[in-house]
Amino acid sequence: AQSVTQLGSHVSVSEGALVLLRCNYSSSVPPYLFWYVQYPNQGLQLLLKYTSAATLVKGINGFEAEFKKSETSFHLTKPSAHMSDAAEYFCAVRASLGGSYIPTFGRGTSLIVHP
């Protein structure tokens, strides 16, 4: 069984401020973890993924996330927010090789960036 909890349905930051989107997961087997971004009326775009290699994962658009097994967390960060970062962000978990390959998505966090 696997699940994802994204804390905060909305996160509001000022342009240039640190972005922190929280994701906690549970999984009965070693997980793969993903962050996706969705712009209005568009599909999902992969930001980054953890697949059991380095625990600090760098993605596109300056985002990164750190896998912390002891905290069962995979929080997404970006040092300086841009207006173009305003979007919906989804964390997802799935089993690593050998388990179910179907990911479970969190409920999403809407990132609002103020000028």
Partner 1 sequence: GAVVSQHPSRVICKSGTSVKIECRSLDFQATTMFWYRQFPKQSLMLMATSNEGSKATYEQGVEKDKFLINHASLTLSTLTVTSAHPEDSSFYICSASTDRGRYEQYFGPGTRLTVT
Which residues ranging from 27 to 86 are in contact with partner 1 (CB under 8 A)?
36, 41-46, 49
Q: How far is the CB of 16 from partner 1 (least distance, A)?
A: 27
Nearest to 104 by CA among 20, 38, 36, 19: 36
* CB 23, min distance to partner 1, A: 12
| Other Cβ atoms closer than 10 A to 24 | 18
Rounded to a whole number of angstroms, the minimum distance from the CB of residue 97 to partner 1 is: 7
Of 69 and 107, nearer to partner 1 (C-beta) is: 107
Instruction: Report the C-alpha gap between 69 and 74 in whole angstroms.
Output: 9
Contacting positions for partner 1 (CB under 8 A) = 36, 41-46, 49, 90, 97, 101-103, 105-108, 110
